[in-house]
Every structure is written in structure tokens, then in C-alpha cells.
Amino acid sequence: MKRVAILSWPLGGNTRLVADKLIRQFTFYNEEDIKAEKLDFLSVSEGKLRPFDVIIIGGSTVETEDNWLKADETTKWSTFFDIIRFADLTGKKAAVFAIGNQKAYPDNFADGMSELKTVLEQKGAKIIGHWPTDDYDFFDSRSIEGEKFIGLVIDQENQPELTDRRIIDWVDQLVVEIGN
Ligand SMILES: Cc1cc2nc3c(=O)[nH]c(=O)nc-3n(C[C@H](O)[C@H](O)[C@H](O)COP(=O)(O)O)c2cc1C
């Protein structure tokens, strides 16, 4: 059985909505094959990540520099990066997701997850879950490699009607890629 950890920040808002939907979507697969669990972002440690085969991490892009690199009351990403710096993720697979707003931030759409991917890869994880950019309308994003996003992108403010379909399709894709 493959164990999947899902971690996200912030703990509320659209990020929580998406994280909860992801967890729920995994329950439609056979638990003997694959099981997803939500890990508490605030108390995560190397030891807690160790038993998992796959780590999925995401969050909302809220002004990249502040959100990802500054540790204060509004963001815990720096703390998380400090923890992950000591983790060995060799042999694990990892996927990232971002919540963004393509109309309000067309030049930085879903930028945040690029930092996450970099850190996960540096620690030895293999990134899965690349996602097509079709059906989004924006100008630029740091989260694109080649023709694709490096992970799932959800725009709950402009395209809420596409969220459920995107999550179903992404989890379907992940399940295949986890099995490979
Ligand atoms: C101050 C601020 C800055 C933001 N910056 C970006 C950005 O750079 N790129 C982007 O795609 N979305 C950006 N957003 C949009 C958020 O990612 C979007 O509102 C998201 O749904 C918030 O999710 P949350 O409720 O989980 O925080 C920003 C929102 C705020 C309030």
C-alpha cells in the first residue's frame, strides 16, 4: 500500500478547501493500494514524513516573497523549509499544488509552488503531477516548465466551476504516476 501525505498552508480559506477535496478524492481508490492522510502542517517533522511514499504539498500564492520566504505570524513556510532542509526524501515521490488568481495576478499566477518544487527536488524527491496550462488565461508564471505547470493549479475565485473536475483528473493522474 502506498501512503500519501498531504500538507498545506494556510490552514483555512481556499487552500483548505482544495486540500480537503484532494483527501476526499483519494478515498475513491482502494485503500489497500493507496491511502492519503492530511498531516498537520504546524507540527510536521522529518520523522513524521518518513513513513510516506508520496508527499503532496500546496498553498495559496499570496505575494511570493512574503509568503514563502518570511517567517512571521501570517506564514509558516520558512519554518517548514527549515524542517525539510534536514529531511532525506530520496526514493519518495512528491507533487505540488497552488491556489492563485489569474485575473488579479496574471504576471505571477500561482508562482509560489515553484519554491516548493525546488526544495522537494533538492532533497531527493521525484516530482510527479505536472499539469496542462490549457483552460487558464494569464501572462506569466514561475510555476511553468516546458509547456506545463509543475503541479495542479486551482483558481477558486475565477474558475470555481472547474475545481472539482481538475481535482478528480489530477488525482487520477497521480495514482497512475505513483504506481509507475
Ligand atoms: C495580498 C495578496 C497577494 C496575492 N498574490 C498572488 C500572486 O502573486 N499570484 C497569484 O496567483 N495569486 C495571488 N493572490 C491570490 C490568492 O492566491 C487567492 O486569493 C487564493 O484563492 C487565496 O487562497 P487562501 O484563501 O487559501 O489564502 C494574492 C492574494 C492576496 C490577498
Give the CATH number, domain containing residue 147. 3.40.50.360
If one counts every other C-beta atom within 10 angstroms of the C-beta of residue 69, the result is: 12
How much is the pLDDT for 180? 76
Q: Which of 62, 163, 166 to mutate to test the pocket of ligand 1 (most atoms within 8 A of CB)?
A: 62
For residue 75, the CA-to-ligand 1 centroid distance in Å is 13
Q: Indicate the number of domains in the chain.
A: 1
Q: Which residues are CB-contacts of 12 (< 8 A; sequence separation ≥ 6)?
A: none
Q: Which domain holds residue 105?
A: 2-179
* All three cell numbers of 153: 493549479
Do the beta carbons of residue 117 and residue 136 sit within 8 Å? no
Q: pTM here? A: 0.94
How much is the pLDDT for 71? 46
Residues 150-162: tens digit of each pLDDT: 999 999 999 999 9
Ligand 1 residue neighbourhood (C-beta within 6 Å): 10, 13-15, 60-64, 99-101, 105, 108-111, 156-157
Residues 108-130: tens digit of each pLDDT: 999 989 989 999 999 999 999 99
